[in-house]
Structures are given as C-alpha cells and as structure tokens.
Structure 1
Amino acid sequence: MLVVSLMRLDDQEVKLQEAFPNVDFKFYKHPSQLPEEVQQQMDVLISYHPEVDEAFIENAPQLKWIAWYATGVNPLPFEILKKREIQLTNAGGVHAQQLTEFLFAYILDDYKELKAIYEEQQARIYNHKRVTPSVKDQHILFLGTGKIPQRAAQVAQTLGMKTIGLNTTGHAADHFDETYAISERQHVYEKADIVVNLLPETVDTRYLLTAEDFKAMNQRTLFVNLGRGTIAKEAVIVDALKNKMIRKAYLDVFEKEPLESNSELYQLDNVFLTPHISGSHVDNKKLATDIFSNNLKSFLNNGDLIENNVNIDRGY
C-alpha cells in the first residue's frame, strides 16, 4: 500500500514508518513536488491543499481514501469522491482546545475591559474604581454542537454560563443546557448575550446569517466567528456593527481571505480581528496523525475507517 503525504509531518514521519513497516510512505513538501507516477499509484492521500481538485483526483486512479488534515472539507470535489467511492476523513476535534482558548480569550478580553485598562496604563492612569461584569449566568449561544462547540460549552458551563446550541434538528448534545434547530434561530437569539459561530462551510451554511439574523440579536450581543467567514457577507457584518445591531464582534475568519487592507472592518472601533489563527497549534500535525494512525490500522485490517468519517452528502 502506498500512502502519500503532500506535507512534511516532521517527527510523525518516523513514527508512522515504524508503526506500519509494511506500508510505503512518501512525503512531499507541497503538491507541486508530487511526481505523476506516484500520484497514479497512491492508495491513500494526506493533504489539506486546494490543489486536490477534480483533475488531481482523476489522475489518481488507485486512490481509495483521503485523510484531510483540516476540519473543513469544503474545497474538495465531492461529486467525484462520491462517484469513485473514495472515503474521506478529516481532522475534526484537533482544534477544539486551541479554538476554545481563543474564544474565551476574546470573551474575557471584552468582559474584563482589558483593552480599555491597557489604554489607561499607556496614559499612566491608575483607575482603581473600574468595575467589570462577570460571565457567570451569561447566555452563550453556539451555532453548531459538534466536537469543538461541545468543548467550548463545557468550559462555559465551568464558568457558570448558560449554554444554548443550534444544530440541524435541535437534538440534544453534551454540555448544552438547551438546543434548538437552526431554522428556529431568529426566535432564540433574544436569549443570548454572546453568539458564537463554529459551523463548517456547507451548501446549507454558506451565507446562512443575513441582516435579519443580526437584527434579531440583542443590541448587547457579542458576536464571535471562529467557524467560516462565509457564514455571512462581510457587508452584512459591517452594517450590523455600524448600526449597533450588535455591540461588538471578534472575527478570526472572513468572507475573503486574506482580508484586504481596504476592508471597512479595519475602520470600525467595535470589532477586533485576528488573521485566521485561532486553530493554529504547534501539535496540530501530531493530533491529526494520531487520528490517521487509528484509521490506518483499521483500513489495513478490513478497509473501514473508524474515526472522523466525513459524510460526503452532508459535507461534514
């Protein structure tokens, strides 16, 4: 069996080779370095590159499984994967801890007014009379109730927050006090002090949030987007912030990336931006390779994948 990785996996390469001595592994730094003859012979592909398109897969006739080393699989050509019956796994859950840490860094930065305190520090003002609100008893609403939202909701509950989850059907999920169907969202927003998007990009979630969604939120709402920038058009978010439909936003993902220097978001004083780094972690390759190794053991045994299977019809 030939397993090809279109990225270098550092010390994980040796671990894979030692754990699976009968598997032929080939590691490349980038898809552009992949020889055509290797592409045509490979059985398993490790990647997260946009170059893995329909033409790429057409030129890989032996390909049986793509191990996608990212959570979002939306760049992949689903139709040909389905036609060829190519199995797909992702790295869902790998980013849960890191994203959760960033989420609560944003929330506590806001609630504890750390930027205002720093500005006073720069002005040599010693304001010992400042009083800040607590997150205890605040209602935090998550768009999505998968692995990452569940981890974030668990931390929220530890801090005494009330957790609300929105998913496809409104089914219950761990660490959520209440759950509702996404279709009910505009009737649920009024409960929330904080709204967090952690949905993947699919046909159903692309531009899911419109001006009507932001109008339905409380004016005190803090909006955080750690999911996908295509959850809403940039102009819609700008308008919601400018017209105070919501109080403030922390955004790590954007409709078009990289965010252009002339974006109106840079001109607003009630939004804080990070450059799509909330999921970046020094151990991401290791964590994703742990998932891959578990799957490879099963795949070699009976052709089945046991962890992080992606439903191609649903896109996640």
Structure 2
Amino acid sequence: MTKSARILIHTSDPAPMLARLAEAAPGIEARGHDSYDGLGRVLADFRPDIAYSVAFRGRDGFPREALLGPDGPGWIAVGGSGVDHLTPWDMGAVTVTNSAGVAAAMMAEYVLGAVLHFTLDIDGMAADRAARHWPPNRLMTPLRGKTMLIVGLGHTGQAVAARAQAFGLRVIGTRARPQPVENVDEVHGSDALADLWGRADIVVLSVPLLPQTRGLVNARALVAMKPDAILVDVSRGGVLDGAALINAMRAGRLKGAALDVFETEPLPADSPIWGLENVILSPHCSAVYEDWAMQSFELFLENFGRWRKGEPLLNVVDPGRGY
C-alpha cells in the first residue's frame, strides 16, 4: 500500500515539475510557489507533507524559518546539493535530502575547462589575436604528470578525479572519513591539508559550507600553495576567504583562479574581485545545464516512490556533516 501526500514545489518555475508530478503520480495533491515572499502563508494554508525546494534566489532572504517552522513539511527535498541555507535543523523533526550527484559530471567539466583555460593560456592567445601578433615560441603546458588536490571527495570531487586521471594527472584528495577512492592516488583527512597545499599544481574546492570548512582556504593556505598553482572553487561561498584571495592574486601568488561561488551572491558590483587579473568569474552556474532542473526532479520522484512505500530515502543529509 502506498501513502498519499501533499507536495509543495518551491522553485522559480514550478509548472513543469507540477506537470511531471501529475504524470508520474496521478491524484497527488500538489501546489507550486515561485517566490521567497509569502511562503509562510502558503505553508500554513496548504500544510504539505513534502516540499521540493530550490534556493533559486541565493541564500540571502531564503525563507528558512518558514520551511522549518510548525507549518513546514516533514521532508524537505533540496533541489541542489548545498544545504547551508537550511542548516541547522532537527533531524528528529524533519528529514532533508539533497540532489547531490545530479550535476557532478557538469561541474567536473567546468573544473577541467577552467584548468585548461590557464594551462593553455587562452587569454594570452586572445590577446595575441587582438594584436595580430604571431609569437614564434608559444608553448603549451601539459597536464600529464602534474598533481591535483581535490578538497572534498564527494560526488563532484570523484567526478573531477575520474577526468583528471584521464589527463594523466596525479590526484590526491581529502574527505572527512579517509578511505580508498577510485581514480584517487592518495586519500587524506582534512587535518593533512597543511602538508598538501604545497604539493599541488591544481587545487579544487568541492566541500560543503560547515562551521569547520568556513574560511578553510585562508591567507595561510594560499601562501602555502605553489606560486604557479591554479585554484578552482566550486564549493560554497565562504569556504574560500575572499579577502585573502584578493591579496594573494594582487601579490601574484597564483597562476590563476576560477571562482563559481562567493561569500555574497550576487557578487556586489563594487567587489574588488571583479577587477582581478587571471581570474575566471561565473555566477554560481557550474552545476547548471539545460536539463539540470528536471534531472534533479527525477531524483526526487525516485525518492518519492521510496517514501510512499516506506523505504529508506536516498541522499538523506546529516546537518552536522553537510551531506
């Protein structure tokens, strides 16, 4: 016997998901809401059992208190992988799942694309073209034999590792509970980072934002990195100390940095980060591709089927661990 449910879909455009839900689970009572404003009133009126929710306008102003309040659902299915806009919560009162893994392949492509941007000197070639200059001795920088450090070997970190090994990179990485990981040559605990920064030619950040990871990459870590290292941040804003990065880039301590996440999003127009050289900036879009939203919702539908049958849910998040 399957359970019935009331489902709230809280996204910027709930209509396609409402249609897909009606197709997959006919007769389910559902409602959509496309704003942060007024969510509390919707919850009080509709009293959903489940909310599928995406932080579609960023963390600032997200109606966390409403979702976790007395009118909130017993299960919140987060449409993305990050849950720092909800933490902390009481696991005894509400179950939170995420969509980790849905966008891992796309994020890995972003990481390798950013790395190749710097190793191939795409900016330099563009400048030569603009100047109609033909340098006779331009050299490419191969990835083979270099070392990549992946800070956070979750779904995204592992997808990056698989692609990095295909390029001939040596891969080292960290995870909360060190154990062998496919395509990773060395796995360490995060307490080993002080000894790992200086070994890496490429540093990739893919950890959740937690009290213990906030400011993880600070001035000391940046100074410890190789002066020609490449840094790619696809974690969460706040893991990398923005002020420390600005100082490091101005001092020429890194070859380049690719930043997809920021402490304040959208990045303020007066932020000095906009003016840094050798920096790629993207608007928290490394996980976003044409079909991403519906792929995430398909994972939710699979989980909803489990919920109706009383089976364990996939991707249940521990707020203390962030995943």
- 2:50 aligned with 1:44, yes or no? yes
Please point out which of 305, 319, 322 is paired with 1:315. 322
CA 295–39 in structure 1, closer or farther in 2 if over 3 Å, else same: farther
* Counterpart position of 2:288: 280
SS of equivalent residue, structure 2 residue 68: helix
Query: Is 2:40 the counterpart of 1:3?
Result: no
Q: How has the CA–CA distance of structure 1 residues 37 and 91 changed in structure 2, closer, same or farther, with 3 Å as cutoff?
A: closer
Alignment-derived partner of residue 64 in structure 1:
74
- Tell me what 1:82 maps to: 91
C-alpha separation between the residues in 2 aligned to 1:46 and 1:183? 35
Task: Name the aligned partner's letter for residue 60 of structure 1.
Answer: D
Residue in 2 aligned with 1:197? 205
The 5 A counterparts of 1:1-316 are 1-7=5-11, 8-32=13-37, 35-36=41-42, 39-49=45-55, 51-60=62-71, 63-79=73-89, 81-84=90-93, 86-302=94-310, 304-305=312-313, 307-316=314-323
Query: Secondary structure in 2 aligned to 1:82?
Result: coil
- Any conservation in 2 of the 1:44–1:64 contact (CA below 8 Å)? yes
Q: Which runs of 5+ in 2 are unaligned?
A: 56-60
CA distance in 2, matches of 1:133, 1:313: 41
Alpha-carbon separation, structure 1, partners of 2:25 and 2:96? 20
More divergent stretch after superposition (40-49 vs 23-32): 23-32
One-letter amino acid of the structure 2 residue matched with residue 154 of structure 1? A
**Residues in 1 aligned to 2:278 and 2:143: alpha-carbon distance in whole angstroms:** 19
Q: TM-score scaled to structure 1, two decimals?
A: 0.92
Change (3 A) 1:31 1:256: closer
Cα deviation for residue 52 of structure 1 reads 3.3
Cα shift at 1:126: 2.7
Task: State the AA in 2 paired with 1:224.
Answer: V
How far apart are residue 68 of structure 1 and its match? 0.5
Secondary structure of the equivalent of 2:18? helix
TM-superposed deviation, 1:222: 0.8
Q: Would you identify which runs of 4 or more consecutive aligned residues in structure 1 move more than 4 Å? A: 37-40
Counterpart code for 2:299: I
3-state SS in 1 of match to 2:149: strand
Q: How many Å apart are 1:33 and its aligned residue?
A: 5.6
Q: Which amino acid aligns with 1:76?
A: L
User: Scaled by the length of structure 2, what TM-score is found?
Assistant: 0.90
CA distance in 2, matches of 1:155, 1:43: 40
> Which 5+ residue runs of structure 1 have no aligned equivalent?
none
- Aligned 8 A contact 1:210 1:236 in 2: yes
Preserved CA contact (<8 Å) 2:14 2:33: no
Q: CA deviation at 1:59?
A: 4.1
| Number of residue pairs matched by the alignment | 312
User: Residues 69, 39 of structure 1: CA spacing in aligned structure 2 closer, same or farther, 3 A cutoff?
Assistant: farther
